[in-house]
């Protein structure tokens, strides 16, 4: 095989440069191949069939020509040794640069990655109530995909897609504002996990997803309403629930903590009984003094080692508490404000319909503040990590505001004399 290079002069470009071609002769056949190199006549050595020193980068250019020559010779010898058919097109194939195909990035499905996020949270020790809330958002995302009839990739979830998801939650699922905010909170945490922990690109920065929690009025019972509950005539099947509810009103316990109380949680302090426990929701250790009404309720159920008071599931007790409040006469109308389809809606609802087991915790907080318990002490008793959480109850103590204004303005203390 004979290989040489030539400068074709038939098709110069605007600057007068002509293409350099490889020519090869073998077994009565010939091959011509464009090297993609161009040069002026003054830059090409015709006799030596290579670039002159005047050509910019002549060393690299001549090395390239030599590499073409070597590759062609090597392939030709290989074909002859194997007895394969040798054709110009077959030889050209070895001279062409390999086609570099960009690897198609793997498809990353949003909900599949969200499931990995759930697994990571579980491995990191998140508690079941938190995981249940996270799983609810996954259900919303999966249902959102079904409505769209198309699975979402991670790269699809940008600001525009987030707005569509919000529209689905409000329009199709009819979720209240704070329920929507819960899902947004979980989506933001998920995207931070993907971006910061997995080092994967996301289409929207989590901080761009704004949420605004709605102010929700906390329903609580007054001291007079507690008296009505205590003295109400009830079916025997409801008495245990009423006592458990009242106990929470005097201690601020959640249903989850009440259901796990045992004699091991009851301690003696300065001749009185207290509760020492670790809250299930927050894993915060709290110590609660048992006031006489709370202690009296415990005394009604002696001999219990676990579940010191009658406790059933939260759903059953919530249903029973509503019935108990109705029988006790807690029927005063309460204004309930919601946002539906972008409109503020107000309706009157009997108070007993709004009462749940968690109302007892609100009742304890409000009545404690009304009796003068310092907010910092209430924070410790309720196990709040931040005092701002406890201050929410201070905002709803409307009676406390009125008492203080009457004390200042009507008691005669601190009266400014007239000039």
Question: What is the torsional sign of CA 38, 39, 40, 45?
Answer: negative
DSSP string spanning 268-316? EETTEEEEEEE-TTT--EEEEE--HHHHHHHHTSTT-SBSSS----HHH
Q: What is the pLDDT of residues 58-78, one digit of tens each?
A: 999 999 999 999 999 999 999
Q: Give the integer Cα–Cα distance in Å for 322 and 308.
A: 22
Task: For residues 322-331, give the mean pLDDT.
Answer: 94
Q: Give the integer Cα–Cα distance in Å for 7 and 20.
A: 5
pLDDT: which is higher, 249 or 370? 249
For residue 8 the two structure tokens come to 């074709």
Contact present, 71 and 79 (Cβ < 8 Å): no
Task: For residues 200-212, give the mean pLDDT.
Answer: 91
Per residue in 251-267, is it b (16+ CB within 10 Å) or e — as a string? bbbbbebbbbbeeeebe
Q: Which of 397, 388, 400 is nearest to 213 (CA)?
A: 388
Which of 12-26, 41-55, 203-217 has the weakest average pLDDT?
A: 203-217
Question: What is the torsional sign of CA 356, 362, 364, 366?
Answer: negative
Contact present, 5 and 65 (Cβ < 8 Å): yes
pLDDT: which is higher, 264 or 211? 264
CA 149 to chain centroid: 23
Domain annotation for the chain: domains and CATH numbers: 2-95 (no CATH), 110-208 (1.10.150.130), 223-409 (1.10.443.10)
Report the DSSP pairing between strands 29-39 and 44-45. Answer: unpaired
CA 372 to chain centroid: 39
Helix (H, G, I), strand (E, B) or coil at 4: strand
Query: Residue 136's pLDDT is what?
Result: 95
Give the neighbor-by-neighbor strand order of the sheet with 266-269.
Answer: 266-269, 272-278, 285-289
Query: Residue 340's pLDDT is what?
Result: 62
* Long-range contacts, stretch 157-161, CB < 8 angstroms, 24+ apart: 157/110, 157/191, 157/202, 157/203, 157/204, 158/203, 158/204, 159/204, 159/208, 159/209, 161/203
Helix (H, G, I), strand (E, B) or coil at 9: coil
Q: Give the integer Cα–Cα distance in Å for 26 and 30.
A: 6
Contact present, 278 and 387 (Cβ < 8 Å): no
Contact present, 31 and 47 (Cβ < 8 Å): no
The reported pTM is 0.60
Q: Give the integer Cα–Cα distance in Å for 362 and 355.
A: 10
Q: Which of 291, 295, 359 is nearest to 325 (CA)?
A: 359
Query: Residue 119's pLDDT is what?
Result: 94
Share of the chain above pLDDT 90, in %: 64
Alpha-carbon torsion angle 379, 380, 384, 389, nearest 10 = 10
For the cut 50, the answer to whether the pLDDT of residue 259 exceeds it is yes
Residue with tokens 């946002």: 339
Q: Give the integer Cα–Cα distance in Å for 394 and 256.
A: 24
């Amino acid at each position: 095989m004979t290989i040489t290079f030539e400068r074709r002069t038939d098709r110069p470009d605007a600057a007068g440069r002509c293409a350099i071609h490889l020519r090869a002769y073998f077994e009565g056949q010939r091959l011509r191949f464009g090297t993609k190199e161009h040069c002026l006549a003054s830059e090409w050595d015709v006799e030596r069939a290579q670039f002159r020193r005047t050509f910019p980068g002549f060393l690299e250019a001549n090395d390239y020509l030599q590499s073409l020559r070597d590759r062609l010779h090597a392939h030709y010898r290989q074909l002859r040794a194997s007895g394969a058919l040798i054709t110009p097109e077959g030889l050209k194939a070895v001279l062409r640069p390999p086609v570099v195909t960009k690897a198609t990035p793997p498809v990353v499905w949003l909900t599949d990655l969200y499931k990995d996020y759930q697994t990571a949270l579980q491995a990191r020790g998140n508690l079941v109530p938190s995981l249940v809330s996270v799983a609810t958002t996954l259900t919303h995302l999966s249902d959102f995909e079904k409505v769209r009839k198309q699975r979402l990739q991670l790269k699809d979830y940008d600001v525009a897609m987030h707005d569509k998801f919000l529209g689905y939650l409000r329009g199709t699922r009819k979720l209240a504002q704070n329920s929507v905010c819960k899902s947004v909170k979980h989506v933001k945490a998920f995207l931070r996990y993907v971006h910061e922990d997995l080092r994967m690109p996301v289409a929207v920065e989590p901080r761009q997803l704004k949420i605004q929690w709605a102010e929700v009025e906390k329903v609580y019972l007054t001291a007079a309403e507690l008296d009505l509950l205590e003295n109400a005539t009830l079916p025997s099947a409801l008495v245990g629930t009423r006592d458990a509810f009242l106990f929470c009103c005097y201690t601020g316990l959640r249903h989850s903590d009440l259901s796990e109380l045992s004699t091991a949680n009851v301690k003696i302090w300065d001749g009185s009984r207290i509760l020492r426990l670790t809250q299930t929701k927050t894993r915060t250790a709290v110590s609660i003094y048992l006031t006489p009404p709370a202690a009296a309720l415990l005394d009604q159920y002696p001999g219990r080692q676990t579940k010191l008071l009658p406790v059933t599931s939260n759903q059953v007790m919530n249903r029973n508490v509503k019935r108990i409040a109705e029988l006790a006469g807690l029927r005063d109308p309460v204004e309930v404000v919601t946002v539906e389809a972008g409109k503020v809606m107000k309706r009157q609802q009997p108070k007993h319909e709004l009462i749940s087991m968690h109302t007892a915790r609100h009742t304890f907080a409000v009545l404690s503040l009304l009796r003068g318990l310092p907010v910092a002490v209430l924070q410790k008793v309720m196990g709040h990590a931040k005092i701002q959480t406890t201050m929410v109850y201070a905002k709803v103590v409307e009676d406390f505001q009125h008492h203080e204004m009457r004390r200042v303005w009507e008691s005669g203390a601190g009266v400014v004399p007239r000039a």
